[in-house]
Amino acid sequence: MSADASNRRVVVKSLFGAAGMFAFAIFILPPMYDLFCEITGLGGKTGDAYTAVDVRVDTSREVRVRFVASNNASMPWIFKPEKDSVVVHPGEPTEITYFAHNITDEDMVSQAIPSLVPNNVADYFHKTECFCFENQPLAAGDQADLKLIFIIDPDLPEGVNSVTLSYTIFDITDRAADPIAQL
């Protein structure tokens, strides 16, 4: 094989490898990261909407669920849960509302991002209905009660008697034009 041909082979292989690593970084690493977090419950991301199944309510056990609300960076809304915490039995659907008030004089859209602590219980915290599944448009000065219905799975690991659910509300007005149009 001539020197040119073997050089060409090295170049082609290396460029192929480099392109592969670029694709790996953009197309494979982020989904892999999400999948990893979903499997392990790391990052406290809770699952999507849950269809309630008929399960017994474990009245022998009580779990305190605490609610935390925070605003991301410069998000000006008032955002808070109706109560700081509730005590529930595993298996029993519980409704709670968060209060949101757009205090600005502009129409805005928000998105709430959940996070659950301790993170190994993310799989046992089910939400049948949640404002966080969709973005929340609010016209200037409007306020709303945002509904959340959750069920703690009766299989919740022993020893966990307190769960903290945190929502951070983000301003996504810039990237969500449609909901504003519907206001």
Partner 1 sequence: MAHGPATLADGWRAYISRWVFTTNHKDIGTLYLWFSFAMFLMGGAFAMVIRAELFQPGMQLIRPEFFNQMTTMHGLVMVFGAIMPAFVGLANWMIPLMIGAPDMALPRMNNLSFWILPFAFAILTSTLFMEGGGPNFGWTFYAPLSTTYAPESVNFFIFAIHIMGASSIMGSINIIATVMNMRAPGMTYMKMPLFVWTWVITAFLLVAVMPVLAGAVTMMLMDINFGTSFFDAAGGGDPVLFQHVFWFFGHPEVYIIILPAFGVVSQIIPTFSRKPLFGYSSMVYATAAIAFLSFVVWAHHMFTVGMPIAGELYFMYATMLIAVPTGVKVFNWITTMYKGSLTFETPMLFSIAFVILFTFGGFTGLMLSIAAADMQYHDTYFVVAHFHYVMVAGAVFSGTAAIYYWLPKWCGKMYNETMGQVQFWVAFIGFNIAFMPQHFLGLAGMPRRYADYGLQFADWNMVSSIGAFIYGGAQIMLLYNVIATIRNGKPTTEEKTWEGAEGLEWTVPSPAPYHTFAKPPEFK
Report the interface residues with partner 1, using CB under 8 A.
3, 6-7, 10-11, 14-15, 17-26, 29-30, 33-34, 37, 40, 42-43, 72-73, 111, 113, 119, 168, 170-172, 175
Q: Which is nearer to partner 1, 84 or 174 (CB)?
A: 174
Q: Is the Cβ of residue 53 or residue 73 nearer to partner 1 in the bound state?
A: 73
Question: Is 27 buried (19+), middle (13-18) or exposed (0-12) by CB count in 10 A?
Answer: exposed
Whole-number minimum distance, CB 137 to partner 1, in Å? 14
CB of 108 to partner 1, least distance (A): 13
Calculate the CA 90 to chain-centre distance. Answer: 21
Per-residue CA distances from 152 to 51, 61, 79 (Å): 13, 11, 24
Q: Note if the bond before 118 is cis, omega within 30 degrees.
A: yes
The residue among 72 and 128 lying less far from partner 1, judged by its C-beta, is 72
CB atoms within 10 A of CB 171: 19
Query: Between 25 and 52, whose beta carbon lies closer to partner 1?
Result: 25
- Nearest approach in angstroms of CB 76 to partner 1 is 15
Q: Return the closest-CA partner of residue 104 out of 139, 69, 145, 146.
A: 139
